[in-house]
Chain A
Amino acid sequence: MNTVVGENKITTLDKVSEGKEVTLISIEAGRGLLSRLLNMGLVPGSKIRVLVNKGGGVLVISVHDTEISISRGIAQKLLVRVESP
């Protein structure tokens, strides 16, 4: 389930609860996937809003005004910083 994250905590995207906005720090992925993610706007420093995260299944995020759905496995590769509320 969703882990409660404190102030300025670093975690992976799949653990961020719905409605929260986080900043992307880094991506741990192979060349092909990394390139695709970067080109789609998932660039370190980008603000990501988690629109849907049910603790299982697909996540829906909004980044640079675009809605993107990503599988949990990919979300686990995205390291993010949760800013204090």
Chain B
Amino acid sequence: MKRITVALIGQPNVGKSTLFNALTGGNAIVTNWPGTTVSKSEGVIRHCQYEIHIIDLPGVYGLTAFTIEEKISRNFIVNEKPDVVVVLVDSLSLIRTLYLALDVLELIDRVVIGVTKVDEAHSRGVHINYNLLEKQLGVPVVPLSAVRGDGLRELAERIISVYEAGRREHTKVDYGELSTYIESAEALIRQCDLGLSHRWLAVKVFEGDPETLELIKSRCTSLYEDLVELREEASRILKVDPAVIVARSRFKHAESIGKTCVIQVAVRKKAPSKLFYHPVYAPLISIAIILAVFTLAFNLNTGFPVASILESVGFSELAEAIENYTISSLIERFLEWSSSTLKGLLGENAISLFLSEAVLGGVGALLLFLPLIMTVLATIGVLEDTGLLTRLAVGVHTLFEKLGFSGHALFPLSLSLGCNVPGLLVARAIPSTAERVRLIMLLPFIPCQARLVVLLALATAVRQGFLLVVLSYIVAFAAFFALGFALYKWSTMRSESVEIRLLLEQPPLHKPIPRVVWWYTWWHTKHFLVKAGTIIVLANILFWLLSHVGPSMSFTDDPGESIAASFSKTLTPILKPIGISGEGSWIIALALIAGFIAKEIFISTLLTVTGASSVKNAFTTIGVSEQSVIALTIFVTLYVPCLAALSTIYSETRSLKLVAEAVLLMLVVAYTSAILAYTLALVLTL
């Protein structure tokens, strides 16, 4: 078996992830790029004695690197030297996507060009002469349809033939008036061999690629000044930024290829749906669509809000029927059954308790939320795949702009309704750093599915439970936007870069493709499983031990005697302002500490420690008034979502200071809101 390493690169929206999944059949290993949290997927295909390792690089528009993603893709191709690079271009916008291909072709010997979405192109009257395209580019060109599976075999064959064929001449783009300068730079760079195409490096100098300049500065220090000087001279004499000339020339080259290889037959072109861009209707329609799809997903998960509404208007039987068949109640019943079976098999002892509560409890929490999160992710997957999501982002932009966020914030915001972890991760795509940091600080305020389940459980302890849940969501969103606006204003006052920008490609609208939606869902679910999963399971075990081991290090059946309890007892004065005091108030403190690890343990702690059969009974046992439950619910909604979210904030910002600030902000906001809620509840029920 010969091993071939292949880098898969393409511009955003060319269908790269879809193709990668089709190639590897979803059997990819997902890790992170070293030193970052950008996901790295690697898959293997075997074809006639060859083992082809495919590495999916982040989607980039060009090899000039300014963002994290661009740096990863550029550096992988430049430094890791994969055997073959496959560049994907979009048959629907061949010229524009050939741009990246040309950038790669100027640097790399062994390249295969994959032309994606050929099935769609045909129906839109786009015809491409692949043979001619191949001739003009000087490398193999393979037409592909990931959805139908066309061309995948040929792609593998072409990768092998290119690998075996060896070197070829680099493509030469004519850079017009800049040519003489590029040649001079090339001559300079030749004096200091960096093992890369001299011409490509010269072009990158004129494009102002920070990575190239850095490389030259450190390895060919004596040349650096001369090259920068040359660049400035070109800029001065040509009166244009050389980066513009490079881009223009490369496009001209792409255009000349496009003109000869593409025939566009007139088919009736659908006008872009202007509804999504209307100044008044667009925000309304966007918000209506978002509310509708999330209500549907929430309802499937927990029965909220439809069942709760039915209940409050008197159709309690119907509401119960719905609640019995929501995903969360089905899983809960399964977990109860397995826990009691386990206890039955092993008898009631320390080990069976440990297994059923600490281990199964943590795994169960994970199992319980997995489908809930997947429903929300699938919903967003549909929006994304159809091209609706980017339109909705534009729809809400004008509204968000007034609050200090751009339309880009819609993606992380909606993912966070499922789970904060993937929400925090996609915030990376936000172009403005200041906005991104603001979002990362505030996204934890958005209630995830775990918190929804806890809120619904708490709501059973008050008379107007449904209203309490709705109120919690309103408070959470209000906190998110109010603080976002405050932070935005603050950065304006410090006169940092504050322009709220939106720059989004709008892929053509089409019907959702179930396979693609599944890939999207699974991709983000993996993040939840790997990141949140490990932390939740481990922390749950640790917490269980702390609440079952006494200060003398011996096992105890009574949680009141445990280490965790004695620590909680010191915290009880904090609960006084929301009306929780007395003997059992430490149980609430303990549950809140548990909730810091993961929200769902809040309820299970409350139930196991009090030994009550329902949340309502638990509160009665401890002696918590209805007003205090309301305050507690608000607190639970707003304070730290879970350890996994915190660790994600850290890995995304690499700043402990920012994590501390975020935690402090959440605690302060949660505590003040809770006291406010308690006072209001007291006044209203007088």
CA–CA, A78 to B515, complex, Å? 39
The answer to whether A39 touches B397 (Cβ under 8 A) is no
* Interface CB pairs A-B, < 8 A, 19: A26-B244, A35-B207, A35-B208, A38-B243, A39-B11, A41-B99, A43-B244, A44-B240, A51-B272, A56-B279, A58-B398, A68-B504, A69-B407, A69-B502, A70-B502, A70-B504, A71-B502, A73-B500, A74-B502
Query: Restricting to A47-84, which residues have a CB under 8 Å from any CB of B?
Result: 51-52, 54, 56-58, 60, 63-71, 73-74
A71 contacts across to B, CB distance below 8 A: 397, 401, 406, 500-503
The answer to whether A31 touches B96 (Cβ under 8 A) is no
Contact of A67 among B61, B243, B272, B397 (CB under 8 A): B272
The answer to whether A58 touches B394 (Cβ under 8 A) is yes
CA–CA, A66 to B398, complex, Å? 22
The answer to whether B390 touches A32 (Cβ under 8 A) is no
Distance of A55 from chain B, by nearest CB (Å) = 8
Given A31-B66, A35-B207, A40-B61, A60–B506 Cβ distance below 8 Å? yes
A70 contacts across to B, CB distance below 8 A: 502-504
The answer to whether B93 touches A35 (Cβ under 8 A) is no
A43 contacts across to B, CB distance below 8 A: 244, 247-248, 251
Any A CB within 8 A of the CB of B277: yes
Determine the main DSSP class of A at the interface with B. Answer: mixed
The answer to whether B277 touches A54 (Cβ under 8 A) is yes
CA–CA, A73 to B464, complex, Å? 46
A60 contacts across to B, CB distance below 8 A: 272, 277, 394, 506
Contact of A34 among B92, B243, B274 (CB under 8 A): B243
Distance of A78 from chain B, by nearest CB (Å) = 11
Contact of B64 among A39, A40, A74 (CB under 8 A): A39
A37 contacts across to B, CB distance below 8 A: 503
Distance of B285 from chain A, by nearest CB (Å) = 14
Any B CB within 8 A of the CB of A27: yes
Distance of B160 from chain A, by nearest CB (Å) = 31
Distance of A21 from chain B, by nearest CB (Å) = 15
Distance of A81 from chain B, by nearest CB (Å) = 15
Distance of A22 from chain B, by nearest CB (Å) = 16
B252 contacts across to A, CB distance below 8 A: 45
Any B CB within 8 A of the CB of A2: no
Query: Restricting to B214-251, which residues have a CB under 8 Å from any CB of A?
Result: 240-241, 243-244, 247-248, 251
CA–CA, A38 to B96, complex, Å? 10
Any A CB within 8 A of the CB of B148: no
Interface centre among B100, B248, B508 (most CB of A within 10 A): B248
The answer to whether A74 touches B501 (Cβ under 8 A) is yes
B interface with A by C-beta (< 8 Å): 11, 60-62, 64, 66-67, 92-93, 95-96, 99-100, 207-208, 240-241, 243-244, 247-248, 251-252, 272, 274, 277-279, 390, 394, 397-398, 401, 406-407, 431, 499-506, 508
The answer to whether B505 touches A66 (Cβ under 8 A) is yes
The answer to whether B62 touches A35 (Cβ under 8 A) is yes
B244 contacts across to A, CB distance below 8 A: 26-27, 34, 38, 43-44
A68 contacts across to B, CB distance below 8 A: 503-506
Nearest 7 interchain pairs by C-beta:
A39-B61, A39-B62, A38-B247, A64-B96, A67-B506, A71-B502, A52-B277
A26 contacts across to B, CB distance below 8 A: 240, 244
The answer to whether B503 touches A36 (Cβ under 8 A) is yes
Contact of A35 among B243, B274, B406 (CB under 8 A): B243
Any B CB within 8 A of the CB of A8: no
Contact of B397 among A41, A44, A57 (CB under 8 A): A57
CA–CA, A56 to B505, complex, Å? 19
A27 contacts across to B, CB distance below 8 A: 244
The answer to whether A54 touches B278 (Cβ under 8 A) is yes
Given A39-B62, A57-B397, A60-B394, A52–B272 Cβ distance below 8 Å? yes
Distance of A79 from chain B, by nearest CB (Å) = 12
B278 contacts across to A, CB distance below 8 A: 54
Distance of A77 from chain B, by nearest CB (Å) = 10
Distance of B420 from chain A, by nearest CB (Å) = 27
Distance of B406 from chain A, by nearest CB (Å) = 7
A57 contacts across to B, CB distance below 8 A: 279, 397-398
CA–CA, A46 to B64, complex, Å? 20
CA–CA, A74 to B92, complex, Å? 25
CA–CA, A63 to B244, complex, Å? 16
B394 contacts across to A, CB distance below 8 A: 58, 60, 69
CA–CA, A26 to B243, complex, Å? 12
Interface centre among A26, A43, A52 (most CB of B within 10 A): A43
Given A43-B244, A52-B277, A35–B66 Cβ distance below 8 Å? yes
CA–CA, A38 to B401, complex, Å? 25
CA–CA, A44 to B241, complex, Å? 11
A51 contacts across to B, CB distance below 8 A: 272, 274, 277
| Closest A residue, CB atoms, query B401 | A71
A31 contacts across to B, CB distance below 8 A: 66, 208, 243
Distance of A80 from chain B, by nearest CB (Å) = 14
| Closest A residue, CB atoms, query B393 | A69
Q: Give 9 A-B pairs besides A35-B64, A64-B95 with Cβ atoms closer than 8 angstroms.
A: A31-B243, A32-B67, A34-B241, A39-B60, A39-B247, A57-B279, A69-B390, A69-B407, A69-B503
Distance of A60 from chain B, by nearest CB (Å) = 6
CA–CA, A51 to B506, complex, Å? 12
Given A43-B251, A52-B277, A66–B93 Cβ distance below 8 Å? yes
CA–CA, A27 to B60, complex, Å? 20
| Closest B residue, CB atoms, query A57 | B398
| Closest B residue, CB atoms, query A52 | B277
Distance of B574 from chain A, by nearest CB (Å) = 44
| Closest A residue, CB atoms, query B277 | A52
The answer to whether A44 touches B248 (Cβ under 8 A) is yes
Contact of B501 among A34, A52, A73 (CB under 8 A): A73
The answer to whether A58 touches B66 (Cβ under 8 A) is no
Contact of A73 among B99, B272, B398, B499 (CB under 8 A): B499
CA–CA, A46 to B401, complex, Å? 29
Contact of A36 among B66, B100, B401 (CB under 8 A): B66
CA–CA, A44 to B251, complex, Å? 10
The answer to whether A46 touches B251 (Cβ under 8 A) is yes
